[in-house]
Amino acid sequence: MYKCLLFLLITSSFFAQSNKRKLVWQEEFNGTALNEKVWNFELGDGCPKICGWGNHEKQLYTNSNHYVKDGNLVININKVDDHYTSTRITTAGHKEFQYGRIEARAKIPAGKGIWPAFWMLGSNIGTVGWPKCGEIDILEYVGREPSKVFTSLHTQDSHGNTINTKVTNIKNVEEGFHLYAIDWTKDKIEFFVDNQAVYVFSPEIKNEDTWPYNQPFYFIINTAVGGDFGGHTVDDSIFPQQFIVDYIKVYQ
């Protein structure tokens, strides 16, 4: 009984705060194609600049491993001959945001070797590099650890390592759609899964190394295969897989 009341109080407070904000942008994936005035494709294996996308990942990104239908973005992850194919898109240079309630409703793929993500990078990455630009991982899931959601941040202070992070156990998270969100202010970033708070990051000392989160960030949606975090052992029997995103919304 107590847990139910506590959940209702947290949820009521959460929605009360959200209702005070204005919806400033939403991507509902209507139509039959991505809006390329909003979304950029990142292609290939990252070479020669950052081979394996910095994590020894196995996939090749294409501009054809996805489709938009019935209000959903569907990323197809396949094995083709001796390589894996997937999609990686960003809003860099088009849609960048500083602070607010940011959320995505998505259904994740599953299986050993799969690594879907909804995340953000600082818009100054081109001048200061990573991790000084900062990174916000609103959703990460790795198939080798089922029923777990990873929410993390990367900064220069952590040398890019996954130190500022939380792993949340969510039974059957692989089934159906779930809501992944952050509440980002000048003082903190709080992470939510299905409107339940799971992690707060708020360093006491805020400088360019500990708190790069005082600038605009852009979105990235992708699914990797294998890699240092995804796991170097891939179960080829799981393919094809799909990462489905219903919408993204930003409130400020």
Q: CA 58 to CA 247: how far, in whole Å?
A: 27
**Residue 197: which residues within 8 A CB-CB, separation 6 or more?**
10, 14, 190, 191
Among 140, 174, 175, 190, the active-site one is: 140
Query: Distance between alpha carbon 136 and the CA centroid of its chain, in Å?
Result: 8
- Mark whether 135 is an active-site residue: yes
> HSE-up of 27 (CA within 13 Å, CB side)?
25
Number of residues written out for the chain: 252
Among 135, 174, 204, 208, the active-site one is: 135
Cα separations in angstroms, 24 against 102, 197, 217: 10, 23, 15
- Mark whether 145 is an active-site residue: no
Q: CA 106 to CA 125: how far, in whole Å?
A: 26
Residues forming the active site: 135, 140
